[in-house]
Amino acid sequence: MEAETNEFLGRERIDRLMGRYAVPCIISLLVGALYNIVDQIFIANADYLGSYGNAANTVVFPLTVIALAVAVMIGDGCCAYVSLSLGKKELQNAKRSVGGAVVMILVSSVILCAVYLLFARPIITMFGGTVNAETFAYAREYFFWISLGIPFYMFGQAMNPIIRADGSPGFAMVSTLLGAGINIVLDPVFIFGCKWGMTGAAAATVIGQIATAALAAGYLLRMKLVRPAGRDFCIDRHIAGKTLTLGLTSLLSQLSLVAAMAAINNMIRKYGAADAIFGQEEYAQIPMAVVGIVMKFFQIVISIVVGMAAGCIPIAGYNMGAGSKNRVRRLFSLLLAAEAAVGVLALFIVELLPEQLIAVFGASNESVYYTDFAVRAFRIYLCMIVFACVNKACFIFLQALGKAAESTMLSMVREIVFGVGFALLFPRFWGLDGVLYSMPVSDALTFVIAAVLIRRTYGELKQPGEEEILTNFSIVQ
């Protein structure tokens, strides 16, 4: 009976629960991130695409993040609401949340697909695609096919956290693995074998997304704990409002990242044109291609970080709903320690092995200017990655506790006030290097605010009569 009620979330050791839920979530997000990253690796190593294809991939990447933003708002919000409802023994509300979420994701995905197809040219231009003619042509080709797959991509991504909330993190992981595996197999076939270029890379991605969406749809029909039926597939305004509020941080976090990427891409295009080297036509695409590569590595690290934090949402939500604050606090301590460890490891990699990272993305086919700028970009742009990891954990955990206002505020300050603001300001003084410095300064300042919220959260999770040890990282029940 325990497996059917999720009551084990309130009794099993915190470390075991985190491993059970976080590891599949990490793998799912890593594999999801690999769609775009794998495309870029194969594109970069194709002689007929090279850095032009890399730059085009960088232009389109934030546009896929917009689709992901809407998907995770609905999926993560539903996941948090379902977990809180199960903790309170409100099963019917959980079912209505899942049913309404399915309707919202289907409608929103079709609308976004139509917008992308109708306004492709101005959208690509907005994200820096006019750096040169070759980059624009490749970006438009890639974007067209990626847009056709948006409904499948969004449905699969939204269902992933919902499936985890239903107690099946393993299935969520497998569905994502299948799609990414298909993409990895088809990319070299289409790009090198068939010579389909950007169309081949996009086609491989979309086929993988269709496979993931098909598995998610199959699971929806046989959910274990929260199986919606009939009238559950109608949007209850109250429940939908709660669901979307809980997922608002995920939406704003992703959308603000898009705003930051748009600002960065346009500053790169503007100040790259004024650079003695990159102002030359044959090198104009290099800064955008390089920053895209750096951001892809960052995306891998953040997928691990977000995976750990998102995997904790059902655990935190259930225990908060059940009133077990001491367990939530121990989970938060373990999560922060793990996130900081990931950040330290990533920092060593980017500072000591930047040339090896660059080589993965086809640096052997490029000029010395490409390599020199890439090394500098890795070492500067990601020098505060430890703070970035802890900040992300704080965003998501606050969301899991129902603290949508604090979580949203912190996310918006990081991505909009600091991320966009510094990306627009710093290049005025330091040119292209100013773009690179905007990232670490934003992360360091955000951490100052996050530290205050972390301390306050620990205080709120203290239960009467329990000794408060703010630095306790004990995981033993």
Q: Is the pLDDT of residue 2 over 80?
A: no
Q: Is the pLDDT of residue 325 over 50?
A: yes
CA 60 from chain centre, in angstroms, equals: 15
- Angstrom distances, CA of residue 36 to CA of 59, 206, 295: 12, 11, 11
- Angstrom distances, CA of residue 162 to CA of 83, 138, 243, 313, 444: 10, 35, 12, 11, 33
- Angstrom distances, CA of residue 190 to CA of 52, 150, 209, 293: 18, 20, 16, 22
Domain, as residue range, for 81: 14-460
Closest CA to 326 of 452, 464, 451, 450: 464
- Residue whose entry in the numeric block shows the structure tokens 């990533």: 346
Q: Please tell me the predicted confidence (pLDDT) of residue 126.
A: 85
Q: Is the pLDDT of residue 408 over 60?
A: yes
Distance CA 220, CA 122 (A): 37
What is the rounded average pLDDT of the residues 161-172? Answer: 85
Average pLDDT, the chain: 84
Percent of the chain surpassing pLDDT 90:
31
Rg of the Cα atoms in the chain = 22
Name the residue with higher pLDDT: 242 or 115.
115
Q: Please indicate, yes or no, whether the overall pTM of this predicted structure exceeds 0.85.
A: no
Q: Is the pLDDT of residue 85 over 90?
A: no
pLDDT in tens, 297-311: 888 898 888 888 888
Closest CA to 139 of 292, 33, 313: 292
Residue 315, token pair as written in the block: 């655990």
Q: How confident is the model at residue 475 (pLDDT cuts 50, 70, 90)?
A: very low
What is the rounded average pLDDT of the residues 97-119? Answer: 94
Q: How confident is the model at residue 476 (pLDDT cuts 50, 70, 90)?
A: very low
Q: Is the pLDDT of residue 32 over 70?
A: no
What is the rounded average pLDDT of the residues 61-80? Answer: 86
- E strand or H helix at 14, and its extent? helix 14-44
**Of the candidate ranges 57-71, 107-121, 333-347, the one whose mean pLDDT is the lowest:** 57-71
Q: Please tell me the predicted confidence (pLDDT) of residue 215.
A: 95
Most confident of 84-88, 280-284, 315-319, 369-373: 369-373
Q: Please tell me the predicted confidence (pLDDT) of residue 134.
A: 86
What is the rounded average pLDDT of the residues 17-43? Answer: 78
Q: Is the pLDDT of residue 193 over 70?
A: yes
Distance CA 324, CA 214 (A): 37
Q: Is the pLDDT of residue 477 over 60?
A: no
Most confident of 77-91, 351-365, 445-459: 445-459
Please report whether residue 72 resides in a domain: yes
Please report whether residue 1 resides in a domain: no
Name the residue with higher pLDDT: 471 or 375.
375
Please report whether residue 101 resides in a domain: yes
- Residue whose entry in the numeric block shows the structure tokens 């749809």: 217
Please report whether residue 239 resides in a domain: yes
Please report whether residue 468 resides in a domain: no
pLDDT in tens, 200-246: 999 999 999 999 999 999 999 888 888 887 788 888 888 888 888 87
Query: Angle, to 10 degrees, between the axis of helix 133-148 and the axis of helix 91-118?
Result: 140
Q: Please tell me the predicted confidence (pLDDT) of residue 111.
A: 96
Q: Please tell me the predicted confidence (pLDDT) of residue 363.
A: 59
DSSP class of residue 124 equals H
Q: Please tell me the predicted confidence (pLDDT) of residue 149.
A: 94
Number of structural domains found in the chain:
1
Residue 88, token pair as written in the block: 């309170």
Q: Please tell me the predicted confidence (pLDDT) of residue 463.
A: 61
